[in-house]
Every structure is written in structure tokens, then in C-alpha cells.
Amino acid sequence: MSYRAVKGMNDILPDEVARWHALERAFRETAELHGYAEIRTPVVEGTELFVRSIGETTDVVEKEMYTFSHHSESLTLRPEGTAGAARAYVEHKAHAKEPVSRWYYLGPMFRAERPQRGRYRQFYQAGCEIFGDPGPACDAEMIDMLVGLFRRLGVADVVANIGSIGGAATRDRYRAVLRDFLAPKAGELSDHARARLDANPLRILDSKDPRDQAACQGAPNILDVLDEADRAHFEALLGHLDSLGTPYVVDPLLVRGLDYYTRTLFELKSSAGELGSQNTLCGGGRYDDMIRGLGGPAVPAIGFAMGLERILLALGPIDAPKRTTCSVAPMGARAVSKALELGRALREAGVVADVDGRGNSLKSMLRRADGLGARFCIVLGDAELERGAVQLKDLAQHTQEELPMAAVVARVAGGAG
């Protein structure tokens, strides 16, 4: 019997993790510079939270949730982070503590999708949510932050697509318009789309089925049915982006796959690197009705989440800062405890240190030091112990010198230059 990771769920091995750290660091720094504070919510929530907030007739809720029952409770592995953040916002009465909350999160999400490059069953998102600010300036600031972050990361060809889905009244009106447009073509739709025609025709717009895509050609444009307040919000947002000089493209067909959105929607796409068809790096929008819908006060909200695997596919190598590494190679049992002491002293001086305690030959210890990418190797055997000295090998310069034991830590810490 051989064990393998679950399909669509990947190991991230130590030699890949440096790129993850660099990406996560850039995200955290950017979010914190914009006043966001980190929140960590559980990876499991009551199923009903996702059904209520994401929407019963979305792909995520209909087909993609990992749901299980435990002691008669129905629980679900979170397919996204917004519902949990909103639940925490309501549960902890955050609105009573501050008028505006800016939260960010990083972590694994779970969707039972068909795995392919850029689409996994466990994947990592980094996201931000703002609660309590209804204005288009905050939408513009968020989109500008994302464009800036992708630029800083060096993701090429990023395009910010922006649309609006209006408020509840606009959406009801648009649903009716869309239903009237699609009803005569019901026979051409996929079975799944036909079943959604009454309950949620908007979802047909983002169907991947070519029959549905053909039927949607020439569909009425939601931007044409926005009411006055929705239109004013959308135009103010575009005005702010124009004055910031933030590039964007208006996409009148943007609908997004989750039902909680109101007004502003956006997606950032790229064709860079090894991204294939899964080229949406980041998606988000406003969801002004969710907090009230979850039993909280009427607090408006906006947010986004980006898929970290997809961004890493879009990026080439990321230069992670390298710290000086030193391997300590004791020759013989007596030298081992001195080597452990030296290892500790090196780390206290900020040097990454590794003590090779395997009792192997010098050649094998040097090979390992090389494999670790160590700059230095300190060799100490019985003869050196007698003299209170060590041999310091500089593996980059291919030199060796004997130093007093008391001097070697300072020499290594200062000598990586």
C-alpha cells in the first residue's frame, strides 16, 4: 500500500516554501501599510453560514463544498474566507468597537472542483475585507492597492476588470430582463443552466458550458439597468481610479460566481508565466447586505481574495534573501558537545547553523554542508580541541584557516560579506 496526498491537494515542499514566504511577506506588508489587521478564523464553519451567504444556487454551494456531519451538526470546510470573516465581525460586535474595520487573512480554502493547473481542491487565499465604509473611494483604494501589489511582485500583464452588479433592486430588475432574454432560448441551454433560469439566471452568464455562452451572446448589459445611486457609485469609483492613474477595463459582463455581491465587482487577470486557463489571480467586490443578512447591523462591506498558487504560477523565480549558513562538523565523540555549543553561539549571532551529528567522515560532512548551501564549515576534531582551535572552511572561497575557538563565531557572523 502506498500513500498519496488526496487528489487536488498538494504538498508544498521545503524548497518551494521560500517563494511562498516572499509572496506572503509582500501581501502582509502591503495590507498592513493600508491599515488592515490580520484575522484568523476557523477552517470549519457551520454549513448554513456558507449556504446563506454564498447562495444556494451557486456552483460553490451546489457542487463544491466538503460537508460532513458531526454529532448531528452539519459542518463545512471553508470554500472561501469572506463568510467566516463576516460571521466573526457579527459575533464579536466589531461595529461597536470601531466605525470601520479593515481585516486581512491568509490560509487554506477547500473546494471539490475538478483539479487542473491553477485549480486545486485545497488552495491558499490571501484576502482583505473592509467593513463599515460605503463609499466608492474605498473601492478605488482597494483596487489601486491590488494593482500596486501585483506591480511590486512583478506579475506581468495584469488587467483589472471592473463592473457593477447594482444593489438588490437593480439585481431584481436585471434578473427579470435576463430571464426574458434567455427564456426563448431555453432549449439551447445546458440542463444545469435551464434549471437556474428561474431562480438565478445571473449564474448562467458565468457558465463555462459553450451552449450557455452562445445563448448569452448579446445579452442585455447590467450597466444599462443600474439605478441612479448604483450608477453614481460606479462612476465615482471610475473617476477616483482615473485621477489615481490606476489602469482598469470596464467589463459589463462581469458577474462573479458568488451571490453576495452588490455594486462593485472586480477581477485581476494575467496571462503571465505558466498560468493557463485559470488566469484569474484575484476577485472581489462589495457585499453591502451580508452583515445584516447574518443577523448583524446594516454595515456595508467590500473585499477581495487572491489565489496564491496562481500568483506563483504567474511569477518567475522570486529572490528570497539568503542568510549566512554555517555547518559545524565535529570529528569524534568528544567534539560533539563543543560543536553543539558552537551551533548555539552561532545562532545567537544570527547565523543559520546546523550541527552534523551523524558521526560520518569529513568528506561526507563537507558534501552535506555544500548541499545545504552553507557558506562556512567549522571542522573540529580531537587535535583542535587540544589546542582550543577550529578549522574554518570558507566553502565559497575554497580557503581554510585555523582560528582560536573563541574567535570563530565573530569571524563567521561578520565574514559572509
The residue ranges that bind ligand HAM (CB under 6 A) are: 80-82, 111, 113, 119-120, 123, 125, 127, 129, 257, 280-285, 287, 303-307, 309-310
**Which grid coordinates belong to 89?**
465581525
Q: Distance between CA atoms of 37 and 367, rounded to whole angstroms?
A: 45
Report the amino acid identity of residue 74. Answer: S
Judged by CB, which is closer to ligand HAM: 80, or 384?
Answer: 80
Q: Between helices 333-348 and 405-414, what is the axis angle to 10°?
A: 40
Judged by CB, which is closer to ligand HAM: 76, or 82?
Answer: 82
Judged by CB, which is closer to ligand HAM: 67, or 337?
Answer: 67
φ, ψ (nearest 5 deg) of residue 165: -110, 0
Query: Considering the complex, what minimum distance in angstroms separates the CB of residue 267 from ligand HAM?
Result: 7
Cβ proximity of 166 and 196 under 8 Å: no
DSSP 8-state secondary structure symbol assigned to residue 79: S
Instruction: Name 92's bridge partners.
Output: none
Judged by CB, which is closer to ligand HAM: 20, or 181?
Answer: 20
Q: Distance between CA atoms of 75 and 389, rounded to whole angstroms?
A: 62
Judged by CB, which is closer to ligand HAM: 125, or 324?
Answer: 125
What is the Cβ-side half-sphere exposure of residue 42, based on CA atoms within 13 angstroms? 10
Judged by CB, which is closer to ligand HAM: 123, or 248?
Answer: 123
Query: Considering the complex, what minimum distance in angstroms separates the CB of residue 231 from ligand HAM?
Result: 22
Instruction: Name 67's bridge partners.
Output: 76
Query: Considering the complex, what minimum distance in angstroms separates the CB of residue 159 from ligand HAM?
Result: 13
Query: Considering the complex, what minimum distance in angstroms separates the CB of residue 160 from ligand HAM?
Result: 12
Q: Distance between CA atoms of 126 and 131, rounded to whole angstroms?
A: 17
Judged by CB, which is closer to ligand HAM: 123, or 150?
Answer: 123
Report the amino acid identity of residue 172. Answer: D
Q: Distance between CA atoms of 158 and 247, rounded to whole angstroms?
A: 9
Judged by CB, which is closer to ligand HAM: 204, or 308?
Answer: 308
Judged by CB, which is closer to ligand HAM: 27, or 304?
Answer: 304
Query: Considering the complex, what minimum distance in angstroms separates the CB of residue 228 from ligand HAM?
Result: 25
**Which grid coordinates belong to 114?**
475538478
Residue indicated by cell numbers 466589531 = 94
Query: Considering the complex, what minimum distance in angstroms separates the CB of residue 240 from ligand HAM?
Result: 19
Cβ proximity of 334 and 119 under 8 Å: no
Decide: helix, strand or coil at residue 152. helix
Angle at 126 between CA 124 and CA 128, to 5 degrees: 150
Cβ neighbors of 222 (< 8 A, separation 6 or more) are: 163, 164, 165, 166, 170, 174, 252, 255
Of how many residues is the chain composed? Answer: 417
Query: Considering the complex, what minimum distance in angstroms separates the CB of residue 284 from ligand HAM?
Result: 4
Query: Considering the complex, what minimum distance in angstroms separates the CB of residue 85 from ligand HAM?
Result: 8
Query: Considering the complex, what minimum distance in angstroms separates the CB of residue 36 from ligand HAM?
Result: 12
Q: Distance between CA atoms of 169 and 171, rounded to whole angstroms?
A: 5
